[in-house]
Amino acid sequence: MKQEKVQELVSQMTLDEKIAQCLQLSPFLFKGTNKNAELTGPLLQEMKLTDAHTENAGSVLGSSSALDMIGIQEAYLKTNRLGIPLVFMADVIHGYKTVFPIPLALGCSFDRETVRVMAEVSALEATADGHHVTFSPMLDLVRDPRWGRVMESTGEDPFLNSELGKAMVDGYQGDASKLNENLEQMAACVKHFAAYGAAEAGLEYNTVNMSTRELYQNYLPAYNAAIQAGAKLVMTAFNVVDGIPATMNKWLNRDVLRGEMEFDGVLISDWGAVAEVINHGTARNPKEAAQFSMEAGVDLEMMTTCYIHELKGLIEEGKLSENLLDEAVLRMLNLKNDLGLFEDPYRGLKNNDRTKDILTDESRGKARAAGVESAVLLENKSRLLPLAKEAKIALVGPLATSPDILGGWNVYGEEKDGINVETGLREVFETVEVVSTEYTELSEEDKVAVKAAVQNMDVVVLALGEKNEWGGEAGSLATIRLPEAQYQLAKFVQTLGKPVVITLFNGRPLEVKELAESSDALLELWFPGTEAGRVTADLLSGASNPSGKLSMSFPQTTGQIPVYYNHLRTGRPQTPENKGERYVSHYLDIPNEPFYPFGYGKSYSEFELKTSSLPKELNLGESLHVEVTIKNISDIAGKEVIQVYLQDVTASISRPVKELKAFEKVALQAGEEKTVTFELTSEAFSFYNHQLEKVQEPGLHRVFVGTSSEDVDVFEVEVGGYV
């Protein structure tokens, strides 16, 4: 439909119709749903919703299937006066029925293509099941693993998050201007705007407190990158930004998002976030909540009813301009139009069953490949891994047979479709003896069983980790430890005289010191998704070679949080020279460094890195070319991530010790050598100064090139106004 037609449609809508357009509800509140129909009555009453509301609401959240969508849409269009279709949105975060690794794992892939493919497969499956919009990517920078939702972020680095966020938008949407034709693509919703990942003390839904400069420097870039990549929607955050809840923060949404970032798509509130501004203490009642959120530019209210019950009064009393509502409605209709819903409200599914697109072998293969790319080899003492296929394995621990390997946002994935660790290992290794233990207990009988099983085996593979429910939304932990029983199990197994491999399945960085000490090899698999067991077998057997790098630092212990690689210096930094002195910045009981740093991860291969000499001087505005030659000096094919960091040594404000500015994952056959060139433009050297201007300043800069944030070669470049 032409843009003018959409505009015209808005002008034909009554005030009530326009207000209802800004409401999003669960599917079971609509007629025609095939799910939980009995809930309709009471909840409708509780929310004081009438037929007129549900017959004109703008959007559905989380329908269950293509049939559900068709049923609801059909019933809706029968009564909707102007024939404006519903748009169906859902949480499709790391895969749909084919579940991919959690986003934190995907962050560790350091691989744009892996992430793009995840989103592409997600869109293929989700659109086949009737969804039009996904509430992904979540691009909240995270520095506190106590927060359960770190599993849903790609990590602690603004640049990595930006690059992977763009890749996700690309994978979901394809060509954003062709969503009306490309029915296997869906619209992406960037969330949670803004800074939700900075909840104080890792406590879910807690206050966020940071300077505006910090917000611009580290927290906004990833959202912005995804928006510039064409993401169609943005979701507000639950938290305050500079004291004002994001959902009613005019400066944040009107000035920054709509103004500076030029975002003109739909801004949706998070679940209930419009009403929750009352709990924040910045609105007295639903009426003010509606007014302030609409004034701040929120177009669509998710699951609460402030708009539907209050906007009319506000407009009639002259407290709110109807123009604001018209703008919101126009954005909603534009989204529907962009998705081609006016031409085909079913997006190709009415007479076309696309279930064949869901959970195919091809998609499973892609999820498996993504799992392999995302796993991080933390330890491999005396090169225990990979294991020969003939190796007799004692597979022990709570995750040995657990189907709980899909990860926190597997909303549509089903455990029955998942390959657990035992199944995966049995497909590859000839002898696997299994002892399954509890997550939180280790009994004497368990020990006896483990001892008996281990006796005749060559190697122990421990499968340890978290339950899904220990992370994700509302999954904050005050201590990032596994249950003590699992550390005890690791220590007990170590006494049995066989080499020990620990495989870890979890959604956050954990305290792993004891695990590293009581094993010969430690492999972080996160929650790998549907193909978890096969991913594990691929890596343990050497059919695939680990190539993931940590996208979030692993603290020594909970008390060290927040620990992240791109921190500022202090006036009294601890250095190798002053170590041992009291009045320098340090802990008495632990090292300053994280247990495993950002960017760290081992391989079965060995690589040699050589950076061609860099210029000593650079003009302001000029790009720096960094040429790196990488050679696989082992006889195993593998992949290495080349990482380039910068430090602005002296600037008008204190700058981080290191910031990632470029990375590339390079695949190398045994003995192969490749040269990779990076171009660091003046953008890479720029930062937000005290006046919030993005500037590049002259002066000494350090360039770090390496294979982790710690393992780097250092070069110095003087940036100035040379001729």
Contact 395, 432 (CB under 8 A): yes
Q: List 459's β-bridge partners, or say none.
A: 393
Q: Find the shortest distance in angstroms from Cβ 136 to ligand BGC.
A: 8
d(CA 697, CA 687): 9
For ligand BGC, the binding residues (CB under 6 A) are: 91, 135, 191, 270-271, 473
Contact 630, 609 (CB under 8 A): yes
Classify 701 as helix, strand or coil.
Answer: strand
β-pair type (376-380, 521-524) = antiparallel
Q: 575 among the known binding-site residues?
A: no
d(CA 383, CA 604): 8
Q: CB nearer to ligand BGC: give 417 or 473.
A: 473
d(CA 137, CA 172): 9
Residue 515: burial class (beta carbons within 10 Å; 0-12, 13-18, 19+): buried
Determine if residue 676 is left, alpha or beta; phi over 0 gives left, psi from -120 to 50 gives alpha, anything else beta. beta
Determine if residue 548 is left, alpha or beta; phi over 0 gives left, psi from -120 to 50 gives alpha, anything else beta. beta
Residue written as tokens 């029915």?
183
What torsion, rounded to 10 degrees, do the Cα atoms 156, 161, 164, 167 define? 160
Q: CB nearer to ligand BGC: give 270 or 422.
A: 270
Q: Find the shortest distance in angstroms from Cβ 27 to ligand BGC.
A: 12
Q: CB nearer to ligand BGC: give 17 or 68.
A: 68
Residue 417 annotated in active site: no
Classify 660 as helix, strand or coil.
Answer: strand
Q: Tell me the DSSP string of 198-215.
A: G-GGG-TT------HHHI
Residue written as tokens 């009453």?
45
Q: List 61's β-bridge partners, or say none.
A: 89
d(CA 697, CA 685): 8
Contact 191, 273 (CB under 8 A): no
d(CA 2, CA 504): 53
Q: Please identify which of the residues 68, 140, 170, 270 carries the catalytic annotation.
A: 270
d(CA 300, CA 331): 10
Q: 648 among the known binding-site residues?
A: yes
Classify 175 as helix, strand or coil.
Answer: coil
Tally of CB atoms within 10 A around 287: 18
CA atoms within 13 A on the CB side of 169: 27
Please identify the residue of the shown chain whose CB is closest to the bound ligand BGC: 135
The two tokens of residue 693 are: 């201007």
Question: What Rg value do the Cα atoms of the chain yield, rounded?
Answer: 26
d(CA 599, CA 663): 10
Cα angle 660, 218, 279; round to 5: 150
- Return binding residues for Mg(2+): 648, 650
Catalytic site positions: 270
